[in-house]
């Protein structure tokens, strides 16, 4: 910029005004402005955005975090949960002119982590495993933050959150199965120890079963464990249900995958419902009936809330709850 100024015979101040103050009255002579533009072009001047970010205390960057303790979510394997969400997040970020970053030091207290001062104007935190350690770290986040998939209450309503309506979503699944004649319905959960949406879904399952006058208790909960070994154990012991609702598509997929090993036909012997309804459901044979979260909408909504926070507006309510749908595919049918 100094070079441009020199070539145009003006001070750097003028260069800055000419090139970037278009909107609010340039206050520079037309001839001077012209000379500056010319000089900038000739020298191939490009603004140093890092210097600008530094000066303005604003980077126009949003970071996406997934917490520590679980691996990086994949775009292209297994249940495509993260891919769908990211499409929404990226759309939202771009709409507001923000750059979106994935940071290797996602969360923590190391100096270069995503919560470092000045690095990002705001953060979106996504995790299906909001462990205690993560939640503690979040509490000291110095920049605006929006949670996806974790209710705001988990961090004292410190930050706004976007979650799907798990209660209503599970209701759709239960109603669907009951309308097919099922009464012995199990709920499959990945790991009961974690406090997260899976638990909300499990409780919704109990509530909806009770609403319909059906029995459901701890004996109807299948903990598949993180390695899915619980599915094999369940099949090996002989299924006691005609339908199972899984807390997510990945868990549901485990049932579909292992059923043949035990001579169980899905959906004829056992109907299976997933949760998330990513495109992954189509890959399974049979294709998986699943409660759909409008992930792209959720991603965009999260960014909208975040941008509000960045602007200093306090978005309310703390939890933005988005209703679910049900995508019926091939893994559910009438009670045998």
Buried b (16+ CB within 10 A) or exposed e, 211-237: eeebebeeebebbbeeebebbeebbee
Spatial contact of 15 and 36, defined as CB atoms under 8 Å apart: yes
Shortest Å, Cβ 51 to its own copies? 6
**Which one of residues 97, 109, 117, 213 is an interface residue with DNA (CB under 7 A)?**
117
Binding of its own copies by 3 (CB under 8 A): no
**Spatial distance between the Cα atoms of 59 and 93, rounded to a whole number of angstroms:** 13
The string of DSSP codes covering 61-76 is EEEEE--SSSPPPPSS
Alpha-carbon Rg for the chain, nearest whole angstrom, is 26
Identify the three-state secondary structure at position 125.
strand
* Cα–Cα distance, 254 to 78 (Å, whole number): 11
What is the phi/psi pair of residue 176, to 5°? -60, -50
Q: Which does 83 bind (CB under 5 to 8 A by kind): DNA, its own copies, none?
A: its own copies
Segment 41 to 70, residues that bind DNA, using CB under 7 A: 47-48, 51-52, 54-57
- Candidate residues 32, 37, 53, 191; the one interacting with its own copies per rule CB under 8 A: 53
98 makes contact with its own copies (CB under 8 A): yes
Partner touching 61 among DNA, its own copies, none, CB below 5 to 8 Å by kind: its own copies
Q: Which residues bind DNA (CB under 7 A)?
A: 1-2, 9-14, 16-17, 19-21, 27-29, 31-33, 47-48, 51-52, 54-57, 117-118
Q: Which residues bind its own copies (CB under 8 A)?
A: 19-20, 44, 46-51, 53-54, 57, 59-61, 72, 74-77, 80, 82-84, 86-87, 90-91, 93-94, 97-104, 111-112, 115-119, 140, 142, 278-279, 282-283
């Amino acid at each position: 910029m100094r070079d441009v100024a020199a070539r145009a015979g003006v001070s750097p101040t003028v260069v800055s005004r000419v090139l970037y103050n278009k909107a609010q009255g340039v206050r520079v002579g037309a001839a001077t402005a012209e000379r500056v533009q010319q000089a900038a072009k000739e020298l191939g001047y490009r603004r140093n955005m890092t210097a600008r970010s530094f000066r303005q205390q604003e980077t126009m960057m949003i970071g996406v975090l997934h917490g520590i303790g679980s691996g990086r979510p994949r775009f292209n394997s297994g249940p495509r949960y993260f891919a769908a969400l990211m499409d929404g997040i990226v759309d939202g970020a771009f709409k507001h002119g923000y750059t979106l970053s994935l940071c290797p030091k996602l969360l923590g207290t190391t100096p270069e982590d995503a919560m470092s001062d000045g690095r990002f104007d705001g953060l979106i935190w996504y995790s299906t495993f909001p462990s205690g350690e993560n939640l503690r770290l979040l509490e000291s986040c110095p920049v605006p933050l929006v949670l996806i998939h974790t209710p705001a209450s988990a961090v004292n309503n410190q930050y706004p959150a976007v979650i799907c309506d798990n209660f209503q979503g599970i209701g759709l699944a239960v109603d669907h199965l009951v309308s097919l004649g099922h009464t012995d319905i199990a709920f499959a959960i990945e790991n009961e120890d974690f406090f997260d949406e899976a638990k909300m879904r499990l409780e919704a399952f109990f509530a909806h079963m009770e609403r319909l006058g059906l029995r459901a208790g701890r004996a109807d909960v299948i903990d598949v464990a993180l390695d899915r070994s619980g599915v094999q154990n369940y099949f090996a012991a002989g299924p006691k249900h005609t339908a199972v609702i899984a807390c997510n598509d990945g868990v549901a997929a485990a049932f579909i995958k292992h059923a043949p090993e035990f001579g169980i036909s899905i959906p004829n012997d056992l109907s299976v419902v997933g949760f998330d309804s990513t495109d992954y459901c189509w890959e399974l044979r049979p294709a998986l009936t699943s409660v759909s979260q409008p992930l792209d909408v959720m991603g965009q909504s999260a960014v909208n809330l975040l941008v509000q926070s960045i602007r200093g507006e306090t978005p309310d309510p703390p939890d933005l709850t988005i209703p679910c749908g049900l995508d019926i595919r091939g893994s559910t049918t009438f009670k045998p």
